[in-house]
Amino acid sequence: LPRSHSPTSSRLLLIISIASTISIPIHFFIMFKSAAALALIGSAAAFAPAQTGRASTSVSAFTIDNMPGALAPMGFFDPLNFAEKADENTLKRYREAEVTHGRVAMLAVLGFLVGESVEGSSFLFDAQISGPAITHFTQVPDGWDALIVTMIGAAEAQRAQKGWVDPAQQAPDQPGTLKADYYPGDIGFDPLGLKPEDPEEFNIMQTKELQNGRLAMLAAAGFLAQEAVNGKGILETLLN
């Protein structure tokens, strides 16, 4: 499972984030199924560097010694030794998976809170959708699920073209190979120009994103579990 690289593009995430601030989180039920399952497993292997690992002769090699994301007191956190056993491409896929799931989870947490706070007052679907956020998706009229899948599929295809080697150009026993010049998570979507040019500043910014994403994955899993247990929305649970 940690080797998966379930893609969700930043462009799609931005669309969903904007939609969630004005309506209900109809898309986030799908996100949470992924975020909850991978909250603890998907990120375990990429809590970056602080111990000796596999090295590469390439100047720009992607190793556990130069990956951003490690902060005291945990430092390099890999209790199951996924990274220790991984080659460079597999390590990049681990980080790609962690960044992606973290981004999805951050938007999912936002969708839970915003969606539940505006239920009954949204202009979509005659404001008929209510209750815990995990039930919102099932209340959406038929046809919207197909639209969601289409949007995700289009975004996935674009991200795959950006970061992955064409399967026709690689050996059958080497699936999911990332392009040599592709940095995990950097799909070229930066409309506000926030990406630093300085490598050190970039590492600091990515570490912040990773840490927020890790927290969001745990929060997303917690939100989902709590609502499944007591059948109440997160805000209702907190306020009561």
Instruction: Round to whole Å and give the CA distance between 136 and 144.
Output: 12
Interior CA angle at 87 toward 84 and 88, to 5°?
110
Percent of the chain with pLDDT over 90: 31
Q: What DSSP assignment string belongs to 160-213? A: HHHHB--GGGS-TTSTTPBPTTPPTT--S--TT--S-SSHHHHHHHHHHHHHHH
What mean pLDDT do residues 57-61 have? 45
pLDDT in tens, 185-219: 998 889 999 999 998 999 999 999 999 999 999 99
pLDDT band at 3 (very low <50, low <70, confident <90, very high): very low
> Residue 60: what pLDDT?
54
> Residue 77: what pLDDT?
86
> Residue 9: what pLDDT?
38
pLDDT in tens, 106-154: 999 999 998 888 877 777 777 778 888 898 888 888 888 889 889 989 9
What mean pLDDT do residues 18-46 have? 38
pLDDT in tens, 68-100: 888 888 888 888 888 888 888 899 999 999 999
**15-24, 81-90, 214-223, 231-240 — which is least confidently predicted?**
15-24
> Residue 189: what pLDDT?
87
Instruction: Round to whole Å and give the CA distance between 157 and 138.
Output: 26
